[in-house]
Amino acid sequence: MIQTRTHYSIKHLLSAAELRRVALELEDGRAPLSGLTPADEARSARHAAAVIGSWLTSVGSLEAMVNEIWADSVDYKQRLAPLGDDAIARIERFGPHVDRLPTLEKASALLSLLDAPAFDRGGTLWHEIRTLKKMRNRLVHFTPRWNVSGAAGDLDAPLTGRFTLNPFTSAGNAFFPDKCISADACRWAMAAVLAFSDEFHARIGLPPAYEHVRAQFLAD
């Protein structure tokens, strides 16, 4: 019998990076916030698909990363060897109790279990991931809303100034999601996920599973 095991946190990160590169190519030469011509429609659709796909896989990579650590404590213990046998056994025993928790709570539970410093829930790392997850949920469970000129949405303040905006939009488009669908927003999302994940791994004392491909998803 042949057994294989894949860490999809890595595949998700690589996918997010590749989709960002697609979005960058499609944005090349566009003047910011200029009107669309009929010939732009297909290009704009491809661009939105790439950006949204990059957002979704960025969030998916973080969720997979946390889940993989809990799962590895059961049947891939060698990957968690730097944590020590006692710590691995504690993670395995406690795993069934966190299965239905949100990702950030699963990560927090792991830090607590290993006596590692908790994240500041008012800090930048935590706030960026919560904002990114809200973006993802708003898109996946999308409900149409009227865009009222001059009225700010609940994501406008946390996202304003984080990245350059979608060059396929004009003044009449809503800030979120329309103007936020940009290659630079993909960069911001990936950077937020990596910053959180890197800090999380440092706190528990485990090298990231994605370290060997880091250069691939950081390259333009």
Q: At 161, is the secondary structure helix, strand, or coil?
A: coil
Integer Cα distance of 8 and 12 in angstroms:
6
What the block records as the tokens of 126 is 């935590």
Query: How far is Cα 123 from Cα 155, in angstroms, rounded to an integer?
Result: 17
Contact 132, 192 (CB under 8 A): yes
Determine the Cα–Cα distance for residues 196 and 185; give it in Å rounded to an integer.
17
Higher pLDDT, 172 or 161: 161
pLDDT at 32 over 70: no
Domain ranges of the chain: 8-142+153-214
| pLDDT for residue 31 | 61
Helix, strand, or coil (residue 117): coil
Distance, first Cα to last Cα, the chain: 40
Instruction: Please check whether residue 30 is in contact with residue 167, taking contact to mean a CB–CB distance below 8 angstroms.
Output: yes
The residue length of the chain stands at: 220
143: left (phi over 0), alpha (psi -120 to 50) or beta: beta
Rounded distance between C-alpha atoms, residue 114 and residue 61, angstroms = 22
Average pLDDT over the chain reads: 91
Tens digits of residue pLDDT in 1-29: 888 888 899 999 999 999 999 999 999 87
d(C-alpha 104, C-alpha 187), whole Å:
21
What is the rounded CA–CA span in Å between residue 216 and residue 100? 32
Model pLDDT, residue 115: 96
Maximum separation of any 2 CA atoms in the chain, in Å: 63
pLDDT digits (tens, 9 = 90+) for 109-137: 999 999 999 999 999 999 999 999 999 99
Please check whether residue 148 is in contact with residue 171, taking contact to mean a CB–CB distance below 8 angstroms: no
pTM for the model stands at 0.91
Determine the average pLDDT of the residues in 70-85. 95
Question: In this structure, are residues 151 and 166 in contact, taking their beta carbons and an 8 Å threshold?
Answer: no
Q: What is the mean pLDDT of residues 158-177?
A: 90
More confident residue, 127 or 220: 127
